Structure 1
Amino acid sequence: MDLGLKDKKVLITGGSKGIGAAAAEVLREEGAAVGVVARGREALDKIKDQLGVAVYQADLFNHNERERVFNQFVQDHRGIDILVNNIGGSNGGSALETDMETFKEAMELNYFANVHFSKMAAGVMKEQQSGSIINITSVYGRESGGKITYNNAKSALISFTKGFADEVIKYGIRVNSVAPGSILHPTGNWQRRLEENPEQTKQFVKDNIPAGRFGRADEVAHVVAFLASEKASWVVGASINVDGGQSYMNF
């Protein structure tokens, strides 16, 4: 299916590996002009060589760095049509054992950074009366699970997605989120756990994922590409599970 994304200007945060890199590959295959921003130089150089995307190095935990790299992308590409907010990470332990600074760090990376990029992108998209913003959240933002700091931040991002979507759709900007379940990729936590404790990890899959396997990053990326396109023109403020049935929610 031709999604009509040829020459669309796409910025992907946290896009040098995992789901972000898979989204970059799928969107490049659709003919989009893709820019990837991440912290690690080596991973950025690798994806640039592999996919021919533009790359930007920045510490997205830092407010000023986010503004710098966003403005650079817009200047280089003369605008932005699609933003994929993939930046995030997991930290801490149980609530009682986790200090408040760690909670704040989780919110900064998983929530505030994404809100910041969304606001900046919407400011540009408003002028052109079109655009698509996709937030990568998690099934653990829709129900309890995972580390509590991550769970809380992703839940907040899902809520922001709906609220912001309702605010900016009048300007032709669609905001949605994709909530992946457990995804296996070479640089992810599940790969590490599989190597460290294969039997326990296989039992997790058996007990928790009805489809009987981990998801792949490209399976998330294809949903991102659909939401980015006009084929999803009437999808506004949605949170779409991509999880092989892992979530317990019935909507």
Structure 2
Amino acid sequence: MPDLRGKVAIITGASSGIGRGTAVEFALLGAHMTLTGRNQENLQATAKASVEAGTPEDKILVVTGDICNDELRKNLVDQTAQKFGRIDVLVNNAGIFTFGSIETTDMAVYDKMMDVNVRSAVRLTQLCVPHLTKTKGAVVNVSSINGVRSMSGCLAYSLSKVALDQLTRCVALELASKQIRVNSVNPGVIPKDIFKRGGMTDEEIVQLMEHCKSTHALGRVGEVSEVAKTIAFLASSDASFITGAQVPVDGGKHAMCPR
């Protein structure tokens, strides 16, 4: 198993889904963490689950707020460094999803999507670089199969994930001389709240999950824990010679094509 004992990680979008799963996985591996998201109640639930998984309560910092707020981003990094004395890992997981084509996408929605999914990752990485330089740390960006394969009906989301993957590759090259590793994971369809927040009904989500059994080579959708374990691997010293990589956690979906 990867070893994150005593490592300090910032995890964005930690109130649910992959963010919560990553926090719990990191706790199992001994990490100290700063968890951030917009929902205070859900963040506290993540913190509680992380304590139950093994991280002492005093080794978890919860920062609630909008990741698009630059003051919050600065405070997030400053408070983490002040409390723990170091930053070893940044997990850029915060993200939103919505449907929309080139004909129907509202530009205000597009701007919000790029702000949350891309700009926040750029800015947080900038702010963390001085700290990651000291620890020879790691950045893991949570992208999507939409960054690898073209799909209709979710234009803004797909564009944001393509940008995030290019960010991963460019920053990996730029920070390699500092021994900072930068990688991304590209999950396939994972049951999570982002679909409901994106406007889908419960029935539509059930139908999507059933349909996606045929669009993933392994014949099923993924689990949050499978993505979280991959993030933990990339964040750990077990991945010490991996940087600039996009790791598909998608049951083979990236390798498929229509027939």
Normalising by structure 1, what TM-score? 0.91
* SS of equivalent to 2:150: coil
1:56 to 51, 55, 63: 63
Match of 1:159 in 2: 166
Deviations for 1:135-187, whole angstroms, at most 9, x for unmatched residues?
Answer: 000010112126110100110010010000001011110000000000014x3
2:100 to 93, 98, 101: 93
Aligned partners of 2:209 and 2:221 also within 8 Å = no
Amino acid aligned to 1:48? A
1:230 to 228, 237, 243: 237
The 1:111/1:202 distance shift into structure 2, 3 A limit, reads: closer
The 1:62/1:215 distance shift into structure 2, 3 A limit, reads: same
Deviations for 1:15-62, whole angstroms, at most 9, x for unmatched residues?
Answer: 121001111111110111112101111101212222233211111122
Structure 2: state its 5+ residue gaps. Answer: 52-59
* SS of equivalent to 1:206: coil
Deviations for 1:82-122, whole angstroms, at most 9, x for unmatched residues?
Answer: 01000110135111222322221111110000111111111
Normalising by structure 2, what TM-score? 0.89
Structure 1: state its 5+ residue gaps. Answer: none
1:239 to 221, 246, 253: 246
* In structure 1, distance between residues paired with 2:219 and 2:201: 15
Match of 2:57 in 1: none
The percent identity for this pair of structures is 33
Give 1:244 shift: 0.7
**How many aligned residue pairs are there?**
247
Match of 1:41 in 2: 40
- 1:143-158 paired onto structure 2 within 5 Å: 143-145=149-151, 147-158=154-165
Aligned partners of 1:129 and 1:171 also within 8 Å = no
Q: Does 1:122 align with 2:142?
A: no
- 1:130-209 paired onto structure 2 within 5 Å: 130-145=136-151, 147-185=154-192, 187-189=193-195, 195-197=202-204, 200-209=207-216
Aligned partners of 1:194 and 1:201 also within 8 Å = no
Aligned partners of 2:195 and 2:205 also within 8 Å = no
Give 1:129 shift: 5.0
RMSD: 2.1
* In structure 2, distance between residues paired with 1:172 and 1:80: 14
* In structure 2, distance between residues paired with 1:165 and 1:242: 20
